[in-house]
Structure 1
């Protein structure tokens, strides 16, 4: 719903955050979006691994959450 204040969302809403949209959690030169923060970020990946949760390589937010829902309702 675009409610998480990612650097990508703040830039689109014309907040003065500069030109660097890189993810602050992993430090990679990757744009900080909700999809990156939850499913692609190496920092988040470490957190998910601690919970024994892995995400498919491809897909959008809905695909990813449906994947997890399917796994835990089996």
Structure 2
């Protein structure tokens, strides 16, 4: 819903954040967007594994969250 202040969103809203949109958590040359931060970032993946949660690379983020809710009966 565009509520998380990712570097991508701030740039689209014309905040003066410079030209570097790389992810600050993992330091990789990958644009910081919601999907990367929560599902693909090398920083967040170990955090999810601690909770015994894995994400598919082929589904939309809303489908991923819905599947997680079903798996945990919430």
3-state SS, counterpart of residue 43 of structure 2: helix
Q: Extract unaligned runs of 5+ from structure 1.
A: none
Q: What is aligned with 1:51?
A: 51
After superposing on structure 2, the runs of 4+ consecutive aligned residues of structure 1 that deviate more than 6 Å are none
Q: What is aligned with 1:16?
A: 16
When the two chains are superposed, the root-mean-square deviation of aligned CA atoms in Å is: 0.8
Deviation for aligned residue 1:63: 1.1
TM-score where L is the length of structure 1: 0.93
| Structure with more helix by fraction | 1
Q: Deviations over 1:25-72 (max 9, x none)?
A: 011111100111011111000110111110112112111101211211
TM-score where L is the length of structure 2: 0.93
Q: What is aligned with 1:68?
A: 68
Q: Deviations over 1:1-44 (max 9, x none)?
A: 11100000000000010111000001111110011101111100
